[in-house]
């Protein structure tokens, strides 16, 4: 039985295979309509979500399967003090596959040790978010044609942004990739991420506080929200939340074929005036999330 806890649980070849399947689903959705008939996906969300949970549920429905679950910790027995281990042991008797989001780093890993069915990490605290990364990769593949030789700028909350950590781990496996890390001093990429996926692999990178300065060299600009819920005090959040706001003027400094990604939700780090620029790929990215999750469900349930 396979779980997806960390994006590196999947080999480069397996990611290629998932992208191929997702692209085939986009072209031939009718072929997939009954693939998961009588199977159930449980979404156990101990933390808020819109895209991740609903795209998982839509994905299972479009495969002909059913969904069950909860969307906040308060409506589950966690509020009575039940452990993740016990919740999962029970839910894996009701469902064939489980997607779990949790505010505690490592909770989905613990869940996988007690589950009788595949566990998918749908975001654990400020740690990882592998299915967002699959969404990002499908989008980069569709928009840029592949992953090699790309200069990837990551901007905003690189400290708490779990999508950033997983994307760097995934992109570090492709030849010729360079990273540009754009953040305020206080929200720099954690050193454990930088060490493991950038420095120890000898990948070229630069760190800056200025988005404008590096804009002309980026092939991909990955914008992120300042992660308010992970701050210890509101004052720091208020001070840092407007560090970067992408406007049409700033995007004017970018190459004609740069793409702008954002895992969403957006607060104000991308002006809505950017939305109509063809380089703004974030709503296409959100749409891709459903297709890559369909491919992932098929793979983990070993459906042919
Ligand atoms: C992200 C997350 O939950 O980490 N959202 C998502 O899954 N698309 C990003 C965020 O909340 O800022």
> Mapped to the 3 state alphabet, what secondary structure does 213-240 carry?
HHHHHCCEEEECCCCHHHCCCHHHHHHH
Q: Does the structure show a pLDDT above 90 at 255?
A: yes
* 288 touches ligand 1 (CB under 6 Å): no
Residue 284: name the closest of 266, 267, 268, 261 by CA. 261
**279 pocket-lining for ligand 1 (C-beta < 6 Å):** no
Is the C-beta atom of 228 inside 6 A of ligand 1?
no
User: Does the Cβ of 51 fall within 6 Å of ligand 1?
Assistant: yes
Counting atoms of ligand 1 from 1, which one is nearest the CA of 51? Answer: 8
Give the Å distance between the CA of 63 and the centre of ligand 1. 24
Structure tokens at 137: 């990769």
State the pLDDT at residue 226: 96
Say if residues 226 and 241 touch (Cβ distance below 8 Å).
yes
State the pLDDT confidence band at 299, using cuts at 50, 70 and 90: very high
**pLDDT, tens digit, 9 for 90 and up, residues 27-43:** 999 999 999 999 999 99
Band of pLDDT at residue 67, cut at 50, 70 and 90: very high
167 lines ligand 1 (CB under 6 A): no
Instruction: Note whether 133 and 155 are within 8 A (CB).
Output: no
* pLDDT > 70 in the chain, percent: 100
β-bridge pairing 151-155 and 178-182: parallel
Closest-CA residue, ligand 1 atom 8, reads 263
Confirm whether 225 is a catalytic residue: no
User: 129 CB less than 6 Å from ligand 1?
Assistant: yes
**Choice from 223, 227, 264 to test ligand 1 binding pocket (greatest atom count within 8 A of CB):** 264
Question: Among this protein's residues, is 2 annotated catalytic?
Answer: no
Minimum-distance ligand 1 atom for the alpha carbon of 264: 8
DSSP 170-193: HHTTSTT-EEEEE--GGGPPPHHH
Percent of the chain topping pLDDT 90: 97
Residue 16: is its pLDDT beyond 90? yes
The minimum-distance atom of ligand 1 relative to the CA of 163 is 4
Q: Give pLDDT tens digits for 204-253.
A: 999 999 999 999 999 999 999 999 999 989 999 999 999 999 999 999 99
Q: What's the pLDDT at 250? A: 98
Ligand 1 pocket member 132 (CB < 6 A): yes
pLDDT digits (tens, 9 = 90+) for 41-66: 999 999 999 999 999 999 999 999 99
Structure confidence by residue, pLDDT tens digits, 110-161: 999 999 999 999 999 999 999 999 999 999 999 999 999 999 999 999 999 9
Cα radius of gyration rounded to whole Å, the chain: 19
Distance 265 CA to ligand 1 centre (A): 6
Active site residue 228: no
Query: Using a 6 Å cutoff on CB, does residue 263 contact ligand 1?
Result: yes
Active-site residue (options: 2, 51, 144, 284): 51
Side-chain-facing half-sphere of 7: CA atoms under 13 Å: 28
Q: What is the pTM of this model?
A: 0.97
Does residue 75 have a pLDDT over 90?
no
Distance CA 54, CA 94 (A): 20
Using the atom order of ligand 1, give the atom closest to the CA of residue 129: 4
- For the question of residue 101 being annotated catalytic, the response is yes
Residues 168-209 pLDDT 10s = 999 999 999 999 999 999 999 999 999 999 999 999 999 999
Average pLDDT of the chain, as a whole number = 97
Q: Residue range 69-96: average pLDDT?
A: 94
Indicate the SS3 state at residue 160: coil
Q: Is 241 a catalytic residue?
A: no
**pLDDT confidence of residue 5:** 98
């Amino acid at each position: 039985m396979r779980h997806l806890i960390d994006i590196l649980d999947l080999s480069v070849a397996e990611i290629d295979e998932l992208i191929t399947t997702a692209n085939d689903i986009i072209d031939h959705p009718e072929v997939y309509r009954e693939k998961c008939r009588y199977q159930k996906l449980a979404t156990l969300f101990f933390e808020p979500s819109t895209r991740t949970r609903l795209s998982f549920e839509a994905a299972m429905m479009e495969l002909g399967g059913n969904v069950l679950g909860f969307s906040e910790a308060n409506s589950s027995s966690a509020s009575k003090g039940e452990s993740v281990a016990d919740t999962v042991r029970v839910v894996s008797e009701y469902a064939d596959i489980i997607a779990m989001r949790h505010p505690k780093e490592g909770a989905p890993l613990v869940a996988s040790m007690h589950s009788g069915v595949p566990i998918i990490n749908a975001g654990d605290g400020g740690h990882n978010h592998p299915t967002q990364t699959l969404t990002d990769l499908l989008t980069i593949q569709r928009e840029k044609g592949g992953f090699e030789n790309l200069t990837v700028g990551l901007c905003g909350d690189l400290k708490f942004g779990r999508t950033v950590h997983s994307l760097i781990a995934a992109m570090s496996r492709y030849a010729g990739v360079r990273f540009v890390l754009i953040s305020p001093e206080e929200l720099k990429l954690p050193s454990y991420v930088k060490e493991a996926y950038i420095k120890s692999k000898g990948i070229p990178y630069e760190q800056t506080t200025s988005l404008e300065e590096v804009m002309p060299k980026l092939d991909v600009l990955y914008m992120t929200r300042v992660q308010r819920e992970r701050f210890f005090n509101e004052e720091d959040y208020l001070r840092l939340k407007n560090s970067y706001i992408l406007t049409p003027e700033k995007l004017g400094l970018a190459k004609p074929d740069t793409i702008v990604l954002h895992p969403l939700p957006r607060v104000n780090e991308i002006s809505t005036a950017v939305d109509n620029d063809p380089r703004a790929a974030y709503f296409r990215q959100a749409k891709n999330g459903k297709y890559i999750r369909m491919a992932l469900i098929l793979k983990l349930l070993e459906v042919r």
